[in-house]
Amino acid sequence: MIDSIFAPILNKLVDEGFFGGWGQFNHAWGDEWNVNFWYVTKDVASFYAGWNDYVKRVGERHPGAFGEAVKYFQAHKDNMYSIQNQYSAMP
């Protein structure tokens, strides 16, 4: 579902400038939070604008997709993060 339904819409939202980027990560080891996603935006208001458009597009193109996806969730947790400190030698 991620590759066939969600990713193409998220990619289009990046191409259109709603998001600066998005991604999925899976734990190599650890706890029950095995899969997560991130979305890059310039601020919280931009996130909400992009998220609302994302939900709308998925609902229009793939009715029931979110309902189907939540069948695979054992738990759900939302967080918003802002970078406070960063140091990198990578460009």
Q: What is the pTM of this model?
A: 0.81
Spell out a b/e string for 33-47, using b for 16 or more CB atoms within 10 Å of the CB, else e.
eeeeeebebeeeebb
Per-residue pLDDT of the chain (91 residues; tens, 9 = 90+): 999 999 999 999 999 999 999 999 887 776 666 788 899 998 999 999 999 999 999 999 999 999 998 888 777 777 888 778 888 787 6
With DSSP H G I counted as helix, E B as strand and the rest as coil, what are the percentages for the chain, rounded to 5? 45, 15, 45
| Segments making up each domain of the chain, as ranges | 2-72
pLDDT score for 52: 97
SS3 66: helix
Give me the pLDDT at residue 75, please: 75
Question: What is the pLDDT at residue 20?
Answer: 94
| CB-CB contact of 60 with 23 (8 Å) | no
Pull the structure tokens for residue 61: 């193109």
